[in-house]
Structures are given as structure tokens and as C-alpha cells.
């Protein structure tokens, strides 16, 4: 019997495990991956103070701390169902069946696709796949690649690939169609790109973030955007070129790219082929919440948080008794915010388990979470704060008509 | 040219790991013990891991963290195992899945 | 390859055109679109294409409400061997 089972060993799950174990709870962590750390494993970037954020080391530290506190780990263990029987959670995995009074879902995020003709060819992979392959497994996804989708995640990973000596032909937009719309629209992409401006040494983008406060300037910016693109970390960013097709007989051989208007329409006759041996698809992240959905937990679609998120409050409780959530399952943000949420969830679980005098700690942890969000180096969505407010409002609205069993 | 990142400006040199041999579709390859099978295959420049059951189109790793199931192979006779989640062991027998003899689609359309 | 022939659901090889046509013809909800085309019903459980299928249903089908919904997911959320479901192997 466990006091708490945590599904997912990313920054949220590991921090929650540490917090619960420090409060004297019996904790088990389950993850289907072979290493603990989740998406934190792949992260590698230079922080404003010049030091490097190394996801592998950060993961190791958290894992070691959890192990030292007696946390049980079940890696390589996929969970395929969860179910409530009487007042206990039953967690079904490929290996064994677990029972617990408190269940924390910290399953993180999955990558949203950007379908492109030819995207099933071997050599086409998600941007996260390339990151894990390069930084964690230390195998390059190929010798020369092209990244489809220009956003915070793809810009950051492009730089990581470059660090490992992988040649990146360029970052380009997907071709405009009904399913790529915003991600294929130069102005909208430029808009979101301005939020990573502080990471870019390019004066164009830096200047841009100051100059392009209003829409008119943004339109100008895209219109005057140089046809050959600008460079970020020496990698061409092509806001005026879109990928039409990925080609290859059996595997990726190259990509057909064309010039586009400032509205994203393809200029006929401008097609050209670029030879590459791999292609990354960067459609952004969305909360991976399928396990929460199995419990009947209500969901809300909140764009600022990346998609459908399970209803939860600031203490990381859901309306389903004994079910908690933390990390990217609650909305797409960085690893430090996820860890802060893990701490909150851990304290909430300890409180529900009858540990006393945690109210102050819990309040501090919630504040710490908000501060971490405010100081985050990378904002996945510029309006993430308003998304967080909305889910809190939905929670309060829910309480009007429903009874939630608190602690 | 090897795809292995042996020396990384921030992460440093690749730590020494035990080399083991395994087979993929009856051919022998070398990889490092406990690295992911997907990584070992890619390091050997193998990108095509299976062919689609119905169309036979070639497929390789896509998400690399167990979500998409595109990298599923058969390992020591067990089918449908995700290469990206499997630590490589010595003497592993890995086989790719191929097109199935009776495409479901044909059966379905003739049944309608 | 033409854009209409582009695959959306990788597992079941359902194309963009197929989804569009079905959504228009039957004015589908996302769920009906899935059941009719098998998009999102394959090996990965829709983890890769679900957002796109939902989007097609929203744009040309009949999907509307986004508020306070219960997402339709069914166990198992990962493929399971019959042996692991309490068969001879245990």
C-alpha cells in the first residue's frame, strides 16, 4: 500500500515525490521511460547569468534526492489504466497493479503535429525527438536537417542541435492550409517569436520586439522581412518561406520549399529543393491528460495553457477526490514552473494524508510557483497568466454547483 | 561519418560504455548496453524500422518518447515493442514489422 | 504528393481529404469523424493526430462546445498484450 503514487518522473513528479517523502509519506513513482527526468532530460540552454541549465544533471540531482528519501521508482513501466475502487486508486501497468490513496498525475506534454505531405517518411521526427536523441542519447538525428515550425521550442532546440554539431539548413513555416493556419501565418509567427527575442543575438529580432508593439508595425516587419531570412544563432529563420513537401523514395532525401506572401500564400514558381537527411516537425506542446480523462475529471479548453486541461485549483487538486495534477498536464510551461507545481501538489497530498501545520508551507509554495512563472526565462505562451486565472475561475464556478471533498 | 556526438562543448566527452552486439533483420550491429534501441539503430544509420501493415510505407522513429508507437519492432520474438523505450541488451534479436498479407482495408471495403 | 493526399492519422493512414470529405458530408462531431474514418483509432490511440482531427471537426463539421467537457478516452490508453491482462503469462 502506498500513500501516494506519482505517474510521471519529470520535474513535477520528482519534486512532488521529494516533497511527499520529506513529509514522511510512502511514495512510488511510475514512468514508462527508461530514465527519470521526463522532458527535463533534454534541456540545455545558457541562462541570463551565463551558467548552463543542464537537464541531465538537474534530473540526476532530483532523482538521487528522491532515492535517498526512500522513494520507490518503477521505470520502463507503462500505465494503461487507472480506476477508483471504493476509496482507493488502482493503477494498472504492464508489470503489476498498484493501489494508493492519493494519485498524482504528472504525465507532462505531448507534441502537436504539423502534417506535411511526406511527413511519414523515416527521418522525419518531432523536434522533441531530435532533442532527446542528441542531448540524452548523444546520437545526431542526421547530418543536415530542416525544422518546420518556428516557435519558442523549435528555436531553442535548433540551437541545441547546432551545439552538437548538427547542420540546420533553416527553420521554415509549414505551408498555409486549414490545419496549419496560425503556425503558417508569418505575422502571427513573428508575433510569437518576439517573445524569444531576448534569447537571440540578432539585432533585427531584438529591435523588432521594441518596434513591433502594434499590428501595423508587425505587418511592415513581415513585408520588409528580408527574402533570405534573418539568422538566429547563425541559423536562417525563414518567415517568408514555407515547406510544401518532404520528399524521398524510402527515407527523407529533401524538402521542397517555396516563397510566401506576408499572408502566407505560396508564390507560384518559387519552389526550390533543399537536400537534407532529416526533418523536424515543431507543432508545439499540448497537455497529455488521457489518464485524467479516464477518471471523469472535467476538462476545459484553454488556449493559453496549450489545450484541454483537467480542472484543478491552485493547490493542484482536481474535483475527483484523491486525484492531483502537476506540471505540463495542467498547462504548458517550463521545467522550473513544473517543479514548483510538484512541490505544491506534494504538500497538498501530505495535508490530505493527515500531516498537520502545512497551511503556511502550502501558501508559500503557491506564491513561489507564481514567482517562478513571472521570472521564467521562456514563456511558452505570452498570456499564460490569464490562462491560469481562467482555470481558477472555472474551479470557483464549479464549486458553486458541486461539492468537492477537501482534505 | 559517425552520428555519435562523442565530444560536446557543454556536455563534455561521451562516457565509456560497454559495447554489445545485436541483430536487426538478421544483420549484426554494435551499440552501447542500456542505451535506447532506437538510438543504437540510428547510430548505425538505420532509419527505417518497419513498414505499415496495410500500405507497406516505410516508417521510423517519430516522437522518441513512447507516445506515437511508430518505432515498434519485434524484440526476441515479442511484437509491438517500442524501440525508443527499450534499453539495448547484448544478443538482442530485433526484427522489423512488415506489410501484412491481408490488408484490412480491402476486406472492409468488400464487406460493405 | 498533393496536399489532399497528405496523411493526418499516421497509424491508420487517413488522409486530409478523407477527413474533410467525411466532415462535410456528415457534418460530424470529432467523435463521429473518428468512428467513420478510423483517424485516431490506431495503435497510438490518437496521441499524434487527435488535435488535428478535432480541428477539422470544428472547422467543417459540427463540433462546437469547448467548455466543461469530459474528454472521451477509453482504457487501455496504451496497447496491452492479452497475456498482461491476466492471461497465462501471470
Predicted confidence band of residue A212 (pLDDT cuts 50, 70, 90): very low
Among A151, A126, A107, residue whose Cα is nearest residue A381: A151
Chain B neighbours among A 129-148 (CB < 8 Å)? Answer: 129-130, 132-135, 137-143
Q: Which among C13, C47, C81 is the nearest to B67, CB-wise?
A: C47
- Separation of alpha carbons A20 and A348, rounded Å: 9
Domain residue ranges in chain A: 2-111+285-401, 124-281
The x, y and z cell numbers of residue A31, run together, are 514512468
3-state secondary structure of C81: coil
Per mean pLDDT, which of A250-264, A341-355, C28-42 is the most reliable? A341-355
pLDDT-wise least confident of A179-183, A195-199, A304-308, A400-404: A195-199
Whether the CA torsion A231, A235, A237, A238 is positive or negative: it is: positive
Predicted confidence band of residue A399 (pLDDT cuts 50, 70, 90): very high
How crowded is the C-beta side of A110, counted as CA atoms within 13 Å? 23
Query: What is the pLDDT, as a whole number, of residue A210?
Result: 44
Among C54, C28, C16, C31, residue whose Cα is nearest residue A303: C54
Query: What is the pLDDT, as a whole number, of residue A201?
Result: 41
Q: Which residue of B has its CA nearest to C10?
A: B70
The residues facing B22 across adjacent strands are: B29
Best B57, B64, B69, B112 member to test C by mutation, with max C CBs in 10 Å, is B69
Domain residue ranges in chain B: 18-98
- How much of chain C is helix, strand and coil, in % rounded to 5? 40, 5, 55
How many angstroms from the chain centroid is the CA of residue A388? 16
In chain C, which ranges are continuous DSSP H helix? 16-26, 30-37, 50-59
- Separation of alpha carbons A209 and A194, rounded Å: 5
Closest approach of C71 to chain B, Cα-based (Å): 18
Chain A neighbours among C 4-33 (CB < 8 Å)? Answer: 5-8, 10, 16, 20
Question: Taking 50 as the threshold, does the pLDDT of residue A374 lie above it?
Answer: yes
Q: What are phi and psi of A266, to 5 degrees?
A: -70, 130
How many angstroms from the chain centroid is the CA of residue A250? 31
- Separation of alpha carbons A390 and B31, rounded Å: 49
3-state secondary structure of C25: helix
A20-31 pLDDT tens trace: 999 999 999 999
Q: Which residue of B has its CA nearest to A140?
A: B3
Q: Which residue of C has its CA nearest to A95?
A: C84
Q: Which residue of C has its CA nearest to A395?
A: C68
Closest approach of B24 to chain A, Cα-based (Å): 16
- Separation of alpha carbons B73 and B54, rounded Å: 16
Identify the residue with better confidence: A196 or C17: C17
Subunits with at least 3 CB pairs below 8 A relative to chain B?
A: A, C
Identify the residue with better confidence: B56 or C80: B56
Closest approach of A115 to chain C, Cα-based (Å): 6
Average pLDDT over residues A61-86: 97
Whole-number CA gyration radius for chain A? 22
Judge contact between A347 and A4, C-beta under 8 A: no
Chain B neighbours among C 32-51 (CB < 8 Å)? Answer: 43-44, 47-48
Q: A2-111+285-401 with A124-281: one CATH topology? A: yes
Kind and range of the H or E element at B41? helix B37-43
Q: What is the dihedral of CA A198, A203, A208, A211, to 10 degrees?
A: 110
- Separation of alpha carbons A107 and A210, rounded Å: 37
Q: Is B103 on the interface with A (CB under 8 A)?
A: no
Query: What is the pLDDT, as a whole number, of residue B7?
Result: 94
For chain A, what percent of residues have pLDDT higher than 70? 88
Among B95, B66, B91, residue whose Cα is nearest residue B78: B95
Q: How far is CA A32 from CA A400, B2, C72, C73, in A?
A: 38, 29, 23, 19
Q: How far is CA A105 from CA A294, A358, C55, in A?
A: 12, 21, 26
Domain A2-111+285-401 sits in CATH at: 3.50.50.60
Query: What is the pLDDT, as a whole number, of residue A195?
Result: 55
Kind and range of the H or E element at B94? strand B93-96
Question: Taking 70 as the threshold, does the pLDDT of residue A320 lie above it?
Answer: yes
Beta strand A278-281 pairing with A124-126: parallel
Place of cell 541562462: A47
Place of cell 486565472: A389
- Separation of alpha carbons A192 and A189, rounded Å: 5
Cross-chain Cβ contact C47/B72 below 8 Å: no
Q: Which among C5, C73, C74 is the nearest to A117, CB-wise?
A: C5
Q: Which residue of B has its CA nearest to C50?
A: B68
Q: What are phi and psi of A148, to 5 degrees?
A: -100, 120
Query: What is the pLDDT, as a whole number, of residue C89?
Result: 47
For chain A, the three-class secondary structure string (H helix, E strand, C coil) is CEEEEEECCCHHHHHHHHHHHHCCCCEEEECCCCCCCHHHHHCEEECCCCCEEEHHHHHHHHHHHHHHCCCEEECCCCEEEEEEECCEEEEEECCCEEEEEEEEECCCEEECCCCCCCCCCCCEEEHHHHHHHHHHCCECCCCEEEEECCCHHHHHHHHHHHHCCCEEEEEEEECCCCCCHHHHCHHHHHHHHHHHHHHCCCHHHHHHHHHCCCHHHHHHHHHCCCCCCEEECCEEEEEEEEEEEEECCCCCCEEEEEEECCCCCECCCCCEEEECCEEEECCCEEECCHHHHHCCCCEEEEHHHCEEEECCCCCCECCCCCEEECHHHHCCCCHHHHHHHHHHHHHHHHHHCCCCCCHHHHHHHHHHHHHHHHCCCCCCCCCHHHHHHHHHHHHHHHHHHCCCCCC
Average pLDDT over residues A5-18: 98
Q: Which residue of A has its CA nearest to C65?
A: A301
Other Cβ atoms within 10 Å of C89 Cβ, number = 9
Question: Taking 60 as the threshold, does the pLDDT of residue A213 lie above it?
Answer: no
- Separation of alpha carbons B50 and B58, rounded Å: 6
Whole-number CA gyration radius for chain C? 15
- Separation of alpha carbons A80 and A97, rounded Å: 10
Local confidence pLDDT in tens for the 112 residues of chain B: 699 999 999 999 998 899 999 999 999 999 999 999 999 999 999 999 999 998 999 999 999 999 999 999 999 999 999 999 999 999 999 999 888 886 555 555 555 4
Q: Evaluate the omega torsion of the peptide bond into residue C76 and state whether it is cis, within 30 degrees of 0.
A: yes
Residues listed for chain A = 407
Query: What is the pLDDT, as a whole number, of residue A262?
Result: 78
Cross-chain Cβ contact C13/B72 below 8 Å: no
Q: Report chain B residues whose CB lies below 8 A from the CB of A280.
A: none
Q: How far is CA A399 from CA A348, A349, A396, in A?
A: 18, 20, 5
Best B32, B61, B68 member to test A by mutation, with max A CBs in 10 Å, is B61
Place of cell 478510423: C38
Cross-chain Cβ contact A125/B63 below 8 Å: yes
Q: Is A392 on the interface with C (CB under 8 A)?
A: no
Whether domain A124-281 has CATH 3.10.20.30: the reply is no
Cross-chain Cβ contact A298/C66 below 8 Å: no
Cross-chain Cβ contact C71/A78 below 8 Å: no
DSSP designation for B4:
B
Identify the residue with better confidence: A61 or A195: A61
A155-204 pLDDT tens trace: 889 989 999 999 999 999 998 776 776 677 777 776 666 555 444 444 44
Judge contact between A298 and A398, C-beta under 8 A: yes
A89-101 pLDDT tens trace: 999 999 999 999 9
Whole-number CA gyration radius for chain B? 17
Best C43, C52, C76 member to test B by mutation, with max B CBs in 10 Å, is C43
- Separation of alpha carbons A39 and C83, rounded Å: 31
Average pLDDT over residues A43-72: 93
Cross-chain Cβ contact C10/B54 below 8 Å: no
- Separation of alpha carbons A76 and C72, rounded Å: 26
CATH architecture type of domain B18-98: Roll (3.10)
Burial of residue A210 (number of CB atoms within 10 Å: 0-12, 13-18, 19+): exposed
Query: What is the pLDDT, as a whole number, of residue C80?
Result: 84
- Separation of alpha carbons A117 and A96, rounded Å: 41
Q: Which residue of C has its CA nearest to A255?
A: C1
Identify the residue with better confidence: A188 or C53: C53
Amino acid at each position: 500500500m502506498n500513500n501516494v503514487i506519482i505517474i510521471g518522473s519529470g520535474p513535477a513528479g520528482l519534486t512532488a515525490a521529494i516533497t511527499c517523502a520529506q513529509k514522511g509519506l510512502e511514495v512510488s513513482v511510475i514512468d514508462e521511460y527508461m530514465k527519470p527526468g521526463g522532458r527535463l532530460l533534454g534541456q540545455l540552454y545558457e541562462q541570463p547569468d551565463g551558467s548552463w541549465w543542464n537537464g541531465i544533471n538537474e534530473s540526476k540531482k532530483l532523482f538521487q534526492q528522491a532515492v535517498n528519501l526512500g522513494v520507490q521508482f518503477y521505470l520502463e513501466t507503462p500505465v494503461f489504466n487507472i480506476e477508483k475502487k471504493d476509496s482507493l486508486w488502482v493503477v494498472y501497468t504492464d508489470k503489476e497493479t498498484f493501489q494508493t490513496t492519493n494519485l498524482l498525475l504528472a504525465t507532462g506534454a505531448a507534441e502537436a503535429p504539423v502534417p506535411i505531405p511526406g511527413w511519414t517518411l523515416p527521418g522525419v521526427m518531432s523536434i522533441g525527438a531530435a532533442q532527446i536523441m542528441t542531448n540524452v542519447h548523444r546520437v545526431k538525428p542526421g547530418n543536415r536537417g530542416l525544422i518546420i515550425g518556428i516557435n519558442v521550442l523549435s528555436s531553442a532546440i535548433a540551437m541545441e542541435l547546432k551545439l552538437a554539431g548538427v547542420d540546420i539548413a533553416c527553420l521554415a513555416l509549414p505551408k498555409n492550409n486549414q490545419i496549419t493556419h496560425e503556425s503558417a501565418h508569418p505575422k502571427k509567427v513573428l508575433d510569437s517569436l518576439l517573445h524569444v527575442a531576448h534569447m537571440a543575438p540578432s539585432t533585427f529580432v531584438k529591435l523588432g520586439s521594441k518596434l513591433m508593439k502594434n499590428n501595423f508595425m508587425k505587418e511592415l516587419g513581415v513585408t520588409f522581412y528580408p527574402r533570405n531570412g534573418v539568422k538566429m544563432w547563425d541559423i536562417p529563420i525563414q518567415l517568408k518561406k514555407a515547406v510544401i513537401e518532404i520528399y524521398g523514395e524510402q527515407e527523407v532525401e529533401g524538402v521542397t520549399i517555396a516563397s510566401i506572401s506576408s499572408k502566407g500564400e505560396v508564390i507560384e514558381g518559387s519552389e526550390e529543393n533543399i537536400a537534407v537527411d532529416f526533418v523536424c516537425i515543431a507543432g508545439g506542446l499540448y497537455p497529455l491528460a488521457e489518464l485524467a480523462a479516464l477518471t471523469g475529471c472535467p476538462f476545459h479548453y484553454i488556449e493559453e495553457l496549450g489545450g484541454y486541461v483537467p480542472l484543478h485549483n491552485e493547490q493542484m487538486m482536481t474535483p475527483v477526490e484523491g486525484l492531483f495534477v502537476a506540471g505540463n498536464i495542467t498547462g504548458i510551461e517550463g521545467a522550473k514552473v513544473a517543479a514548483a507545481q510538484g512541490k505544491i501538489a506534494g504538500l497538498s497530498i501530505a495535508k490530505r494524508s493527515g500531516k498537520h501545520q502545512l497551511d503556511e508551507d502550502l501558501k508559500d509554495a503557491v506564491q513561489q510557483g507564481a514567482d517562478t512563472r513571472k521570472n521564467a526565462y521562456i514563456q511558452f505562451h505570452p498570456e499564460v497568466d490569464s490562462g491560469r486565472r481562467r482555470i481558477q475561475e472555472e474551479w470557483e464556478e464549479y464549486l458553486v454547483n458541486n461539492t468537492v471533498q477537501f482534505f | 561519418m559517425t552520428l555519435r556526438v562523442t565530444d560536446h562543448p557543454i556536455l563534455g566527452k561521451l562516457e565509456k560504455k560497454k559495447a554489445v552486439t545485436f541483430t536487426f533483420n538478421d544483420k549484426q550491429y554494435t551499440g552501447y548496453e542500456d542505451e535506447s534501441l532506437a538510438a543504437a539503430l540510428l547510430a548505425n544509420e538505420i532509419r527505417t524500422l518497419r513498414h505499415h501493415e496495410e500500405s507497406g510505407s516505410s516508417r521510423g522513429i517519430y516522437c522518441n518518447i513512447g507516445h506515437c508507437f511508430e518505432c515498434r519492432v519485434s524484440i526476441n520474438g515479442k511484437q509491438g515493442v517500442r524501440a525508443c523505450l527499450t534499453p539495448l541488451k547484448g544478443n538482442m534479436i530485433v526484427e522489423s514489422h512488415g506489410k501484412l498479407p491481408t490488408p484490412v482495408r480491402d476486406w472492409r471495403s468488400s464487406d460493405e | 504528393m498533393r496536399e489532399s493526399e497528405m496523411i493526418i492519422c499516421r497509424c491508420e493512414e487517413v488522409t486530409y481529404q478523407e477527413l474533410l470529405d467525411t466532415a462535410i458530408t456528415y457534418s460530424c462531431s470529432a467523435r463521429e469523424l473518428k468512428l467513420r474514418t478510423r483517424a485516431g483509432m490506431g495503435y497510438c490511440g490518437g496521441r499524434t493526430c487527435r488535435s488535428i482531427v478535432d480541428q477539422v471537426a470544428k472547422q467543417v463539421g459540427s463540433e462546437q462546445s469547448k467548455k466543461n467537457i469530459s474528454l472521451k478516452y477509453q482504457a487501455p490508453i496504451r496497447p496491452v498484450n492479452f497475456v498482461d491482462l491476466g492471461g497465462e503469462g501471470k
